[in-house]
Structure 1
Amino acid sequence: MLIMSQINHIRDLRQCGYRISEIAKKVGADHKTIRKYLDKDNFSPAPPAHSQKPSILDPYKPKIQQYLAQDKKHWYKQHHTARRIFQRLTEEEQYPGSYSVVQRYVKTLRKNAVEKSSLELVWEPGTAQVDFGEADFEENGRTVRLKYLTVSFPYSNDGYSQVFGGETAECVCQGLQDIFTYIGGVPPLLIFDNATGVGHRVRDVIYESKLFGQFRAHCQFRVRYCNPAAGYEKGNVERKVGYTRANLFVPVPKFNDRETYNRQLLAAHQIKAVEPHYKKGEQIQVLFSADKAALQPLPLKPFNVCRYEWLKADGYGKICLEGKHYYSTRPENAHKKVLVGIRANRIDILNDGGRVVVEHQRVYGDKRSDISDYSTTLATLLNNAGAWFNSGFRQEVPDLLRDYLDAQPKPVLRNCLRMMQELAGQYGVKAAISAMELTVRNGSVNICDASVLAARITGYGINTPPEQGPSLYVYDDLFLKGGSADDDTKNACGA
């Protein structure tokens, strides 16, 4: 079985026009294996990596770059020569290597600097650049600083953004998938910054996260990572990030549901799309039609943007992500391994059968967080009703219901908790709590009334008026006045 880097190499060669026999010869695999991986539609990518021997100069390269950067501030006749750099490295940094190694590296840096100063990049239709920005948003009444993924098309200068809590591979894949779906295709080539959460390049070796590798193979697009300190390679998306913040995020946007806001944000590109291109003169939306024509078709099946991991729960049945974000599972999972689905905006807690039993909104940031779903503690409270007064679930219920339960003896309290657990299993914990509160207010706390109320809450809403039935006034006239039913019916219908 081939590893993911070999599989992606096979697919890249195929896209470059190589025949199966040529690919088999290059990869060292038989024809059946090559055809097998070309026919499949779900792979984890890894571009071919060319190993290089480490240089004795590697630890000193940042210092050399620093010397040359400082030279730009001074008169050109007082710039460092390669010989002077070698002398300083030897005297100040105890560099043990030869002068020729330093000379070759300095020559390469200066040659690249000259080439960059006169390089104007040309972008083909369909090529996209990807980067993150950050801005403040008012989410659920609280001001938070969030990240936003931006995908721009340099040919047309059109672009799209999606807001997330972080810059993880889950956020990148979810944002890309939503944008691809909206525009109706997949860009054949994506340009990424070398510091994104999906991958990076060290010399000629590219490292990608597993989830992004799977997503890339699923959608069948190629990627290119910018060279370090070469922001001009994705200058279009960097300008688009600034434009989006200045024009779409001022004043500070307010929303309660991030996913709903993201759907609205996709259509916001139309504000810029009607403007003329800054250089070509044509409308951006007209130029974008060429971008769309170059897109690859969407995959037949949507990609499940989720990273699954087995994590060990602590003594409270909570799992920890990123060393600081805690999420509750179930009390019975204490000290056990739990299957966790990690998504861009949500954390799923699954049972051994793969069914989601608990959902949490994903938390980002450097501060510790502790997220609990107290509905999962009902089973524990049934076995220890005395823990009710110090439970987190008690803090979640309305005051009226809390006061009622506080006043009950243990047998009655246990019976009420059992009722809530039964209702929560059938109608959800929110409906169960609301139904129990209404039974307390009505003075009739029993499972029959609570079940009817919970069904009403989840089905129609407790305050929804009954539907107006058919009018029976025709029959009132018939019985009160007498006469033919056919005649009255005709009269009522205007016949």
Structure 2
Amino acid sequence: MGSRVDLFASIRRDARLEGLGTRTLARRYKVGRETVRQALKSAEPPARKTPVRVAPKLEPFKPAIDEMLRTDLTAPRKQRHTATRIWNRLIDEHAAQLGYPSVRDYVRKRRPEILAESGSLAETATVPQEHTSGAEAEVDFGEFWIDLAGVRTKCYMFVFRMSHSGKAIHRVYPSLSQEAFLEGHVTAFETLGGVPTLQIKYDNLNQAVTKVLGGRARTENERWALFRSHYGFDAFYCEPGIDGAHEKGGVEGEVGRFRRTWLVPVPDVSSVDELNAYIAECEARDDVRRITGRLSTVGQDWAAEQPLLNPLPEDRFEPGLPLTPIVDRSSLVTIKQAKYSVPASLIGRRVRAILRASEVLIYDGRRLVARHERVGVRNGQAVQLDHYLEVLKLKPGALVGSTALAHARATGAFTAEHDAFWEASRRVNGDAAGTRELIDVLLLHRHMPAETVTAGIRAAMSVGSVLAEVVAVEARRAAEHLPGADADTAAGGPVTANVVSMTQRRLMDPLAVIAGLPADRRPTPSVAQYDDLLARRTAKQAATQTLNEGATPS
């Protein structure tokens, strides 16, 4: 027999077609006459009655359980009763002999009833909201891990999400600094092409809020208040803790969605800039997705929302923190417990520095004199060998063990070609002079591309030259053959050396042409003509000796 619906349908069909009575139908389908009467009365079977489960052992303890649940109404969220804790208290304090399942089932049913009776249910319930186009946005940070140059590294993702369309901007930074917070906003505003007209919602982040006051009142960081004034928007601060999470639920969900969609598996990148470029591509692909319950895509909704934003101000706000450190005797400035090198000519002077989320810019007046990646390690250093070349020209012996050389090797700026030239130059010219030749080569990097300098080193050493002037000549020649300079080089043709070694030239075939010059057809030089002079000198010396021996002393 099928379901009760099928049974009722069969009874009603036989009664309609055959005119059978209640007793006959009951015998045919082996059911009670009351069931037949129900089928003839309605095609839908009546709902089965759920038996009332009686828990006689639990009944005396229900008032105690209710009291525990009522105390939870005013208790901290993380210190409220669980069913297990209630069960243990009943055993310890009331000597109850109860099974855990009966207590668990009663608590599950009774807790929401007590919440509703107290009126607290309305306070915790949420009401769906409609967001005006172009008016509101939400901001949050999320953390995740990447393999940065082969090292598992923790990073932080700034997320800016438009509340109406769901269009979101994501950028990765190595820290949760205020510089990252402000830089993320600037990037989002410039990428979106405008600023929300009403407000942006935030948690009570340290980068913006210094003190939480009563209600929605906050004491804001002075630099953050200046930033908001510059771009002309209001900040809406959510309630602290879990109670305020729903107030910006869109960006809370966006952090997890984007991380699961585009950052799994763990990204393997060589730099944070490379990762941000990848993330920008992912954002473009996200424009074709649809948010649940919507017919249009995120990109379509954003196209309608974007013209409604307020325009950007004429001046760009500098998100970096301005500082004025003094250059010490090691040509280093200290910024946030990290050291950065500057040209040695600035030792003892006060310079202007801009500390950004991922880099540090150092100026002498308006002139940019140094740019470093921001050091995230306390007492770490970022040192450039170029800043010390003038000092090393006077103190060449200091190069071997210098921190600047170690950093240059670690970053790849000091290549195997530089090492080979240095070794050969010291072998030929001596340690001091050979090192100075290397420093002259390193100075070429200030006004020539690195690849042309290394090409010049290879060309010079191919003929045994260890002179910086030769490297410079060959580097300039290599620059003329960079890709795009002519058809041969664009096709990948090698750049040959323009330096002529007379020794190699003489040993090669006379018909060969070296560096575009004709073969040397001159005869090998001879010193035979000087032999006559040697013979005359020998005869003169013998005559002088004879005269001296024949002389008589007076």
Same fold (TM over 0.5): yes
- Following superposition, the deviation at residue 356 of structure 1 comes to 1.5
Structure 1 counterpart of 2:420:
400
TM-superposition CA deviations, 1:265-314 (whole Å, max 9, x none):
22423444333322344433333334323311233344443322112344
Distance 2:202 2:465 in 1: 62
Question: For 2:203, which of 193, 196, 203 is the aligned residue?
Answer: 193
- Following superposition, the deviation at residue 343 of structure 1 comes to 1.8
Distance 1:288 1:404, change over 3 A: same
1:245 aligns to 2:265 (yes or no): no
Distance 1:403 1:65, change over 3 A: farther
Distance 1:387 1:269, change over 3 A: closer
Matched positions, count: 368
Question: For 1:377, which of 371, 388, 398 is the aligned residue?
Answer: 388
Matches within 5 A, 1:92-131: 114-126=122-134, 127-131=136-140
Partner AA of 2:430 in structure 1 = P
Partner AA of 2:131 in structure 1 = W
Partner AA of 1:72 in structure 2 = R
Bigger shift: 353-362 or 408-417? Answer: 408-417
Structure 2 counterpart of 1:202:
212
TM-superposition CA deviations, 1:343-388 (whole Å, max 9, x none):
222112222x2211121111335x5422211121111111212212
Distance 1:411 1:280, change over 3 A: closer
Distance 2:458 2:403 in 1: 18
Structure 1 counterpart of 2:236:
224
Distance 1:454 1:418 in 2: 15
Distance 2:450 2:386 in 1: 6
Distance 1:384 1:313 in 2: 20
SS in 2 for 1:296: coil
**1:156–1:277 contact (8 Å) kept in structure 2:** no
Distance 1:180 1:418, change over 3 A: same
- Following superposition, the deviation at residue 138 of structure 1 comes to 2.9
Distance 2:120 2:463 in 1: 80
Structure 1 counterpart of 2:446:
425
**1:149–1:161 contact (8 Å) kept in structure 2:** yes
SS in 1 for 2:324: strand
Structure 2 counterpart of 1:409:
430
Percent identical across equivalent pairs?
20
Bigger shift: 270-279 or 247-256? Answer: 270-279
- Following superposition, the deviation at residue 149 of structure 1 comes to 0.9
Distance 1:445 1:217 in 2: 60
- Following superposition, the deviation at residue 247 of structure 1 comes to 0.2
Q: What TM-score does the superposition give when structure 1 sets the normalisation length?
A: 0.65
Distance 2:220 2:211 in 1: 6
Partner AA of 1:206 in structure 2 = T
**2:193–2:312 contact (8 Å) kept in structure 1:** yes
Structure 2 counterpart of 1:33:
none
Distance 2:171 2:237 in 1: 21
SS in 2 for 1:194: coil
**Structure 1: where are the runs of 5+ without partners?**
1-63, 79-109, 470-495
- Following superposition, the deviation at residue 447 of structure 1 comes to 4.2
Structure 1 counterpart of 2:373:
361
Question: For 2:465, which of 427, 430, 444 is the aligned residue?
Answer: 444
**2:421–2:466 contact (8 Å) kept in structure 1:** no
1:174 aligns to 2:188 (yes or no): no
SS in 2 for 1:133: strand
SS in 2 for 1:285: helix
Distance 1:143 1:455 in 2: 42
RMSD of aligned residue pairs (Cα, Å): 3.4
Bigger shift: 118-127 or 156-165? Answer: 118-127
SS in 2 for 1:337: coil
Distance 1:421 1:282, change over 3 A: closer
Distance 1:400 1:187, change over 3 A: same
Structure 2 counterpart of 1:391:
402
Structure 1 counterpart of 2:169:
160
- Following superposition, the deviation at residue 158 of structure 1 comes to 2.9
Structure 1 counterpart of 2:292:
278
- Following superposition, the deviation at residue 217 of structure 1 comes to 3.2
Distance 1:281 1:200 in 2: 42
Q: Which has the larger radius of gyration?
A: 2
Partner AA of 2:137 in structure 1 = A
Partner AA of 2:143 in structure 1 = E
Distance 1:260 1:116 in 2: 43
SS in 2 for 1:279: coil
Distance 2:154 2:479 in 1: 35
Distance 1:241 1:270 in 2: 16
Structure 1 counterpart of 2:487:
467
Distance 2:477 2:265 in 1: 41
TM-superposition CA deviations, 1:138-160 (whole Å, max 9, x none):
33343322111111122223322
Higher relative contact order, chain-length normalized (CA < 8 Å, sep 6+)? 1
Matches within 5 A, 1:230-379: 230-323=244-337, 325-334=338-347, 336-351=349-364, 353-364=365-376, 368-379=379-390
Distance 1:441 1:261 in 2: 40
Distance 2:119 2:391 in 1: 70
- Following superposition, the deviation at residue 443 of structure 1 comes to 2.2
Distance 1:166 1:209 in 2: 20
**2:204–2:240 contact (8 Å) kept in structure 1:** yes
**1:169–1:209 contact (8 Å) kept in structure 2:** no
- Following superposition, the deviation at residue 70 of structure 1 comes to 5.0
Distance 2:74 2:476 in 1: 70
Partner AA of 1:195 in structure 2 = L
**2:320–2:355 contact (8 Å) kept in structure 1:** yes
TM-superposition CA deviations, 1:75-118 (whole Å, max 9, x none):
9xx9xxxxxxxxxxxxxxxxxxxxxxxxxxxxxxx999853434
Distance 1:275 1:219 in 2: 30
- Following superposition, the deviation at residue 193 of structure 1 comes to 1.8
Distance 1:111 1:436 in 2: 82
Bigger shift: 340-349 or 438-447? Answer: 438-447
Q: What TM-score does the superposition give when structure 2 sets the normalisation length?
A: 0.58
SS in 1 for 2:183: helix
Distance 1:421 1:429 in 2: 10
- Following superposition, the deviation at residue 161 of structure 1 comes to 0.8
Distance 1:307 1:442, change over 3 A: farther
Distance 2:305 2:485 in 1: 52
- Following superposition, the deviation at residue 414 of structure 1 comes to 5.4
**2:426–2:433 contact (8 Å) kept in structure 1:** no
Partner AA of 2:132 in structure 1 = E
